[in-house]
Amino acid sequence: AQSVTQLGSHVSVSEGALVLLRCNYSSSVPPYLFWYVQYPNQGLQLLLKYTTGATLVKGINGFEAEFKKSETSFHLTKPSAHMSDAAEYFCAVTRGTGGFKTIFGAGTRLFVKA
Amino acid sequence: DTAVSQTPKYLVTQMGNDKSIKCEQNLGHDTMYWYKQDSKKFLKIMFSYNNKELIINETVPNRFSPKSPDKAHLNLHINSLELGDSAVYFCASSQQHNEQFFGPGTRLTVL
């Protein structure tokens, strides 16, 4: 069975500070991993994804994440937070081969202080 | 052009009523989903269709019935609405297990 744990339901950073949102997963097969962002009153949109290959993946809006198999982690980072980054962030995992069920984490709300 | 669209955006109704939410995607994807997002933002998969075939049917009351007339459409019908059904319902689509594209959501309020 697969699962996703996002550490911290709320994260607050100052504008210009490093953003670090944590995600740990469990999967018995090679996973596909995703980060999605949800702005208020909108649907989720993809930030970035890891399928195979390079473990450091870059996404939109300056975000990146690193797949660390040994730590079963896929943490999301951004060097310098902008006010516009304030949103809900979801980590998700799906099986790499076969299967269509994606498991989403509980979400982390990012607050950015001026 | 909207990739995944849902109608209506807002739905306010009385307990006991029956309502439907429609979803359409123009991305040519073969898989579509319905999710329920509660007030704490928790996202729960309800159903998934692949090429019009039901492949995921989570523990959802049988008052909820999905219908997929073709690959581009997945509708959700809810009978005998209850207060606990109030939530935001999202439709999404994907090409097999790749990233999902979400609709804007339907906010359902049951009074």
- What are φ and ψ of residue B21, in 5° steps? -120, 135
Q: Are B93 and B100 in contact (CB under 8 A)?
A: yes
Which chain A residues contact residue B4 at CB under 8 A?
43
Total CB pairs under 8 A between chain A and B = 56
Q: Are A21 and A81 in contact (CB under 8 A)?
A: no
pLDDT (tens, 9 = 90+) of chain B, 111 residues, equals 679 999 999 999 999 999 999 999 999 999 999 999 999 999 999 999 988 888 888 888 999 999 999 999 999 999 999 999 999 999 999 987 688 999 999 999 999
Distance CA A78, CA A58 (A): 10
Which chain A residues contact residue B48 at CB under 8 A?
100-101
Q: Is the pLDDT of residue A12 over 60?
A: yes
Residues near B24 by beta carbon (within 8 Å), at least 6 away in sequence:
B4, B5, B72, B73
